[in-house]
Amino acid sequence: MNNWAVRVSDVSKKFRLYHERNQTLKSAILRGRTSKHEDFWALKNVSFDVIEGHTHGLIGSNGSGKSTLLKCLAKIYWPTSGSVEYRGRMASLLEVGSGFHLELSGRENIYLNGSILGMSKKEIDRKFDEIVDFSGVEQFLDQPVKNYSSGMYVRLGFSIAIHVDPDILVVDEVLSVGDEGFQRKSFEKFLEFKKRGKTIIMVTHSMQVVEDICDTVTWIEKGTMMATGKAKSVVASYKKSLD
């Protein structure tokens, strides 16, 4: 197929693990030796395509490498080798509210965080009421976000991010934010994205969410791709491995 939206080609990611605590380059030089370390490969030769308009899940046990892969997709990490290609505008939703300034109000942070995520002021103006309505923080909009509860904080952050209008959305466990009512709204928003032909790549530990939302899935364990393909088939293989 050539109608891919995201192409992951032979991606590997290496981290360097140091064995001496609080080791700095300066202290190593002063002591006349380099720090002892070992290379840890979080990802090893991962390849798959995500078809335009599909929702693609990344699954695996804790520490499998799926979040590292997601950060490579979101351009937070650069692969040690291999490449990630996109066709269209990409936005990531990994750490909800990570661009907030605690001393600023919710209103001000909508503009700040929205601009960080790539929206113009004109675009934020147009979507402002919708962002506020979705978040449910209307009464506290002019309060500093440092006074927000954790639930309000993540709801506003999620609402801003979900109203960016990308062609490709990269998300990490976002359907677990907020209370049950907000999670339901979030789920409906993702379904709306799918209906509009958007491409979504997501990490989740919920196999029910994967089966409900995803068209295709990549399963990773210990940095190695175990399987990629239709969601039902890959999820079945993953569940069987847990027995």
199 contacts 3 by C-beta, under 8 angstroms = no
Number of domains, the chain = 1
Residue 4: enclosing H or E segment and its boundaries? strand 4-18
pTM for the full model? 0.81
Most confident of 175-179, 192-196, 215-219: 215-219
| pLDDT at 230 (0 to 100) | 96
The pLDDT tens digits for 20-38 are 665 565 665 665 555 577 8
Residues 175, 102: Cα–Cα separation, whole Å: 24
Range of the domain at 111: 4-242
Any idea which of 25-34, 98-107, 148-157 has the lowest mean pLDDT? Answer: 25-34
The pLDDT tens digits for 129-143 are 999 999 999 999 999
Residues 109, 86: Cα–Cα separation, whole Å: 29
Residue 87's domain is classified under what CATH number?
Answer: 3.40.50.300
CA-derived radius of gyration, the chain: 20
Helices (H), the chain: 25-30, 66-73, 106-116, 121-135, 150-162, 180-195, 207-213, 231-242
| pLDDT at 116 (0 to 100) | 84
Residues 217, 212: Cα–Cα separation, whole Å: 12
